[in-house]
Amino acid sequence: MEFNAMHLDILKEPGNIGGNTFLNALGSFTNMTFIPTVPAIAKDMAGALLDSILVTGVNGDDIILIILAELTVKGERIDGYRLFVPSRNSLEKIFNTLGVTV
């Protein structure tokens, strides 16, 4: 299925809701506050998308948590990925709070 601009805008809203739900749950577990960025949608090969993110938006850190997102719209499954790009310092704080040793 080809997506036009309206389809992509519609897909952003569950992405926004899901992203905020993820951050709120993580905030509850860690007693931390997380501020989301505006959702974006991109369609390309995975390597090209990750390269673009690494070049433009990771601030020198090389940690990206990738979360599989599966949506079903009118019986058609749409696979996507949610990228969580914390700074190294923030990730260490999250892991320490959760008792995760890296």
pLDDT reported for residue 24:
93
Q: Which of 47, 37, 39, 35 is nearest to 8 (CA)?
A: 39
Indicate whether 39 pLDDT > 90.
no
Give the residue, 101 or 63, on which the prediction is more confident. 101
DSSP-H helix ranges across 1-102:
5-30, 46-57, 88-98
Distance CA 81, CA 67 (A): 5
Summarised one tens digit per residue, pLDDT across range 52-66 is 766 665 555 567 777
Query: Which residue type occupies 52?
Result: S
Indicate whether 92 pLDDT > 80.
yes
| All structural domains of the chain with their residue ranges | 5-98
pLDDT reported for residue 84:
79
Distance CA 24, CA 43 (A): 27
Query: Which residue type occupies 87?
Result: S
Strand partners, 84: 65
Q: Alpha-carbon torsion 31, 27, 25, 62, what sign?
A: negative
Q: Give the mean pLDDT of the chain.
A: 80
- Token pair 């860690």 in the structure block, residue: 30
Indicate whether 81 pLDDT > 90.
no
